[in-house]
Structure 1
Amino acid sequence: MSLSNSDQQVLNRIFNPEMPYEQSEAAAGQPLSDTELEIADMTEEERDRLSESKKLEVEAIHAIERGDLSGGLDSLNRCVSLTPHRASCYNNRAQALQLRGDRRGALDDLESALRLSRGSGRVACQALTQRGVIHRAEGRDDEARQDFEAAARLGGPFAKQMLVEMNPYAALCNQMLREVIGQLSRPSDSAEDCSS
């Protein structure tokens, strides 16, 4: 009995749950990415909406980079309307909302991004990092640390850096190290006395 491509992918995910989807499918001879699997199951209309949503997302990012925050937000709002199931749309809109100073709206979108991404993958890592930054800016260091730890487990380099900065022992060690290096780089008075 031969398994269908879909059956093989399901079994591969069951037997290799810790392996990223792209690797597990490639190992089983199925070089389909998770996104390709989703697209394969979509209707033509859904694929068209997804394609348009991705274009809007890119337009939005370029608009924001040019300083057109309102235009970028308009594109991201349309992106979310077209594909409300895409975590990336919410994550990017959260960044734009933060730039506008709307932390509450950004937090709402980050919650949506995390829910839709099921807390895993690149978008979840970015959303956790963004939420950690907001928590830290608002003085909620415990919540920020939790988000940075989760993002670091997902491979986020910025989250790892933030954890080091938030570690009081690391901060103390860094301060002591700077003092020692500063003392070593300046000739001391006692060293001058010995040389005379």
Structure 2
Amino acid sequence: MATSKDRAILDSIINPLLPNDEFVPHNDVQEDTGHDSEAVKTTKEFEKQGVIFAESGRMDQALEMFGKAVECSPMWASAYNNRAQAFRLLKRNEEAMKDLDMAIQLSNGKGKAACQAYCQRAMLNHYTGNEELAFKDWECASNLGSNFAKNQLIQKNPYAALCNKMLYDVFKNVKEGTDIK
């Protein structure tokens, strides 16, 4: 449940070679729809509370709310995805990976929850040194419309990274009014 501002900040940290004004929100990602049962509505409320706790640094309470969301709607992929994010922030990566696998399975690899789960799982795979699996997950998220994942794939291409670096330097020099070298 990241905002476009959150994604812009993350993009600028993770993609320092991309110009900041090139950020495009994840508008292409298909929303998860068709689930408006009472249990899912309650689950969404637990998720909202979990996000509020997480944003205020109260990760134990956030994890508790996300756990309640999973208990309330065990077939709702978003609940697992959000709980995985809390696990990741607590550096409980094995538990996060299990929840991400479940989110992808429950979503049938489609929609916003799957896209977010693929991105999170790719990051976990990257941080644990499994670049091959990370690349596959970036591809899946990219195919679902994630611009963040598309940028990650571009950066994995050494030629694209070099071109981005050169382009960044040119724009920086133009902006500063210095000579292009």
Superposition TM-score tier, normalisation by shorter sequence: 0.7 to 0.9
1:86 deviates by 0.6
Q: Out of 139, 150, 163, which is 2:153 matched to?
A: 163
CA separation of 1:78 and 1:177: change in aligned 2, threshold 3 A: closer
TM-score (norm 2): 0.73
1:145 deviates by 1.1
Q: Could you list the per-position Cα deviations for residues 47-98 of structure 1 after superposition, in whole angstroms to 9, with x for gaps in the alignment?
A: 2x33322211110011101111000001111111111111000000000000
CA separation of 1:179 and 1:56: change in aligned 2, threshold 3 A: closer
Question: Which protein has greater RCO, CA pairs closer than 8 Å, 6+ apart?
Answer: 2
The within-5 A match list for 1:1-196 is 34-36=34-36, 39=37, 47=38, 49-177=39-167, 185-186=178-179
* Partner Cα separation in structure 2 for residue 142 and residue 104 of structure 1: 18
8 Å contact kept, 1:88–1:113 = yes
How many aligned residue pairs are there? 149
1:111 deviates by 0.3
Aligned-CA RMSD value: 2.5
Unaligned runs of 5+ in 1: 1-19, 23-32, 40-46, 189-196
Unaligned runs of 5+ in 2: 1-29
1:174 deviates by 2.8
Aligned-pair identity (%): 36
Query: Which protein shows a greater Rg?
Result: 1
Q: Could you list the per-position Cα deviations for residues 107-155 of structure 1 after superposition, in whole angstroms to 9, with x for gaps in the alignment?
A: 0000000000000011100000110111111121111111111101101
1:180 deviates by 6.4
8 Å contact kept, 2:31–2:112 = no
Moved more, 85-94 or 50-59: 50-59
CA separation of 1:57 and 1:186: change in aligned 2, threshold 3 A: same
CA separation of 1:164 and 1:53: change in aligned 2, threshold 3 A: same
TM-score (norm 1): 0.68
Letter in 2 for 1:83: S
Choose between structure 1 and 2: higher helix proportion.
1
8 Å contact kept, 1:128–1:148 = yes
